[in-house]
Amino acid sequence: MATMKKEKKGVQGDEPHEMWQLRLYVAGQTPKSIAAFANLKDICEQHLKGIYEIEVIDLLENPKLAKGDQIFAIPTLVRKLPQPIRRIIGDLSNKERVLVGLNLYPLEK
Protein backbone atom coordinates (compact mmCIF):
# COMPACT_ATOMS: atom_id res chain seq x y z
CA MET A 1 0.00 0.00 0.00
CA ALA A 2 1.31 3.43 -0.94
CA THR A 3 2.06 6.07 1.63
CA MET A 4 -0.55 8.75 1.27
CA LYS A 5 -0.55 11.72 3.59
CA LYS A 6 -3.48 14.06 3.57
CA GLU A 7 -3.45 17.50 5.01
CA LYS A 8 -6.71 19.38 5.10
CA LYS A 9 -7.22 22.86 6.42
CA GLY A 10 -10.60 24.05 7.66
CA VAL A 11 -12.62 26.83 6.08
CA GLN A 12 -12.44 30.26 7.68
CA GLY A 13 -15.85 31.82 8.35
CA ASP A 14 -19.05 31.14 6.43
CA GLU A 15 -17.90 32.40 3.03
CA PRO A 16 -18.74 30.20 0.04
CA HIS A 17 -15.63 28.46 -1.25
CA GLU A 18 -14.40 25.81 -3.59
CA MET A 19 -12.10 23.26 -2.00
CA TRP A 20 -8.78 22.79 -3.79
CA GLN A 21 -7.61 19.19 -4.07
CA LEU A 22 -3.90 18.94 -4.75
CA ARG A 23 -1.93 15.73 -5.24
CA LEU A 24 1.87 15.74 -5.00
CA TYR A 25 3.68 12.76 -6.51
CA VAL A 26 7.15 12.10 -5.07
CA ALA A 27 9.72 9.29 -5.01
CA GLY A 28 10.81 8.83 -1.42
CA GLN A 29 12.14 11.48 0.93
CA THR A 30 14.62 13.07 -1.46
CA PRO A 31 15.69 16.70 -1.00
CA LYS A 32 13.69 17.62 -4.12
CA SER A 33 10.56 15.89 -2.81
CA ILE A 34 10.86 17.53 0.59
CA ALA A 35 11.41 20.94 -1.02
CA ALA A 36 8.39 20.47 -3.29
CA PHE A 37 6.12 19.72 -0.31
CA ALA A 38 7.48 22.65 1.71
CA ASN A 39 7.09 25.05 -1.24
CA LEU A 40 3.57 23.81 -1.96
CA LYS A 41 2.49 24.15 1.66
CA ASP A 42 3.88 27.70 1.78
CA ILE A 43 1.99 28.69 -1.38
CA CYS A 44 -1.23 27.11 -0.12
CA GLU A 45 -1.01 28.88 3.24
CA GLN A 46 -0.46 32.22 1.49
CA HIS A 47 -3.07 31.91 -1.27
CA LEU A 48 -5.54 29.15 -0.35
CA LYS A 49 -5.66 29.27 3.43
CA GLY A 50 -8.56 27.22 4.69
CA ILE A 51 -9.66 25.77 1.35
CA TYR A 52 -7.04 23.23 0.34
CA GLU A 53 -6.18 19.58 0.76
CA ILE A 54 -2.77 18.12 -0.08
CA GLU A 55 -2.33 14.43 -0.76
CA VAL A 56 1.26 13.18 -1.02
CA ILE A 57 1.77 9.96 -2.99
CA ASP A 58 5.11 8.16 -2.81
CA LEU A 59 5.60 6.32 -6.09
CA LEU A 60 8.46 4.23 -4.69
CA GLU A 61 5.87 2.42 -2.60
CA ASN A 62 3.24 2.06 -5.34
CA PRO A 63 4.35 3.05 -8.86
CA LYS A 64 0.99 1.97 -10.34
CA LEU A 65 -0.61 5.12 -8.93
CA ALA A 66 1.32 7.20 -11.48
CA LYS A 67 -0.76 5.90 -14.36
CA GLY A 68 -4.05 7.46 -13.24
CA ASP A 69 -2.71 11.02 -13.39
CA GLN A 70 -0.25 10.33 -16.24
CA ILE A 71 2.86 11.06 -14.18
CA PHE A 72 6.09 10.93 -16.19
CA ALA A 73 8.43 12.93 -13.96
CA ILE A 74 8.71 13.59 -10.25
CA PRO A 75 7.99 15.53 -8.22
CA THR A 76 4.75 16.44 -9.99
CA LEU A 77 1.87 18.44 -8.57
CA VAL A 78 -1.61 17.70 -9.91
CA ARG A 79 -4.50 20.06 -9.25
CA LYS A 80 -7.54 17.77 -9.21
CA LEU A 81 -10.05 20.42 -8.15
CA PRO A 82 -11.11 22.96 -9.18
CA GLN A 83 -11.33 21.78 -12.76
CA PRO A 84 -9.59 21.72 -15.18
CA ILE A 85 -6.84 19.39 -14.00
CA ARG A 86 -3.40 21.02 -14.13
CA ARG A 87 0.10 19.57 -13.70
CA ILE A 88 3.32 21.22 -12.58
CA ILE A 89 6.64 19.37 -12.63
CA GLY A 90 9.55 20.20 -10.35
CA ASP A 91 10.30 21.27 -6.79
CA LEU A 92 7.85 24.20 -7.00
CA SER A 93 10.56 26.69 -6.03
CA ASN A 94 9.60 29.18 -8.75
CA LYS A 95 6.58 30.65 -6.97
CA GLU A 96 5.40 32.78 -9.92
CA ARG A 97 5.45 29.76 -12.24
CA VAL A 98 3.48 27.71 -9.70
CA LEU A 99 0.89 30.46 -9.20
CA VAL A 100 0.39 30.80 -12.95
CA GLY A 101 0.32 27.01 -13.35
CA LEU A 102 -2.38 26.70 -10.69
CA ASN A 103 -4.22 29.69 -12.14
CA LEU A 104 -3.61 31.72 -8.97
CA TYR A 105 -2.09 35.15 -8.95
CA PRO A 106 0.06 36.93 -6.37
CA LEU A 107 -1.81 39.04 -3.84
CA GLU A 108 -1.60 42.80 -4.33
CA LYS A 109 1.11 44.37 -2.19
pLDDT at 108: 47
Q: Look at residues 14, 80, 31, 75 and name the one whose alpha carbon lies nearest to residue 52.
A: 80
Query: Is the pTM of the predicted complex or chain greater than 0.85?
Result: no
By C-alpha distance, which of 78, 65, 66, 64 is closest to 21? 78
Between 67 and 92, the more confident residue is 92
Segment holding 82, helix H or strand E: none
Q: What confidence score (pLDDT) does residue 13 get? A: 40
pLDDT digits (tens, 9 = 90+) for 43-87: 999 999 999 999 999 999 989 988 888 899 999 999 999 999 999
Q: For residues 8 and 106, which has the higher predicted lDDT (pLDDT)?
A: 106
- What is the structure's pLDDT at 18? 86
- pLDDT tens for 2-53 read 444 444 444 344 445 689 999 999 999 999 999 999 999 999 999 999 999 9
Second-level CATH architecture of 18-101 = 3-Layer(aba) Sandwich (3.40)
